[in-house]
Amino acid sequence: MTKRMTHEQLKKQALSDPAVRAEYDALEEEFALLSELVKARNKAHMTQKDIAERMGTTTSVIGRLESGGGKRQHSPTLATLRRYARAVGCEVKIKLVRKKAHS
């Protein structure tokens, strides 16, 4: 019988591999953006369909936008992010943050 792993156990095991960890860390910014999109939609109590209607697009486009998944196959333009933000009653703010020096 195969032992079942929780998501956290699987993640911990996978991230113990330095190559996997490096790829995971490289996608941190993208995952943060995707998370912000979904959080804004949820806070606005809206569905993907609601957003699509407000943006004049389809639900599948919103699904792809929210789940880019780090594959860099779908990098939204700033204009698209602004339209999404307006649809959920937000605005886009971008700031550059100095990286911490690695020791």
User: What mean pLDDT comes out for the span 12-38?
Assistant: 88
What are the φ/ψ torsions at residue 22 (nearest 5 degrees)? -65, -45
User: Is residue 64 included in any domain, yes or no?
Assistant: yes
Question: Residue 30 is part of which domain span?
Answer: 12-87
Structure-token pair, residue 24: 């995971």
Nearest to 74 by CA among 47, 22, 37: 37
Structure-token pair, residue 94: 């971008």
pLDDT of residue 58: 94
pLDDT of residue 103: 55
pTM exceeds 0.95, yes or no: no
Q: How confident is the model at residue 1 (pLDDT cuts 50, 70, 90)?
A: low
- What is the per-residue pLDDT across 49-72, written as a single tens digit (0 to 9) for each? 999 999 999 999 899 899 874 455
Q: Could you give the number of structural domains in the chain?
A: 1
Supply the CATH number for residue 78's domain.
Answer: 1.10.260.40
User: Is residue 80 included in any domain, yes or no?
Assistant: yes
- Per DSSP, helices labelled H in the chain are 7-15, 18-26, 28-43, 48-55, 59-66, 78-87
User: Is residue 39 included in any domain, yes or no?
Assistant: yes
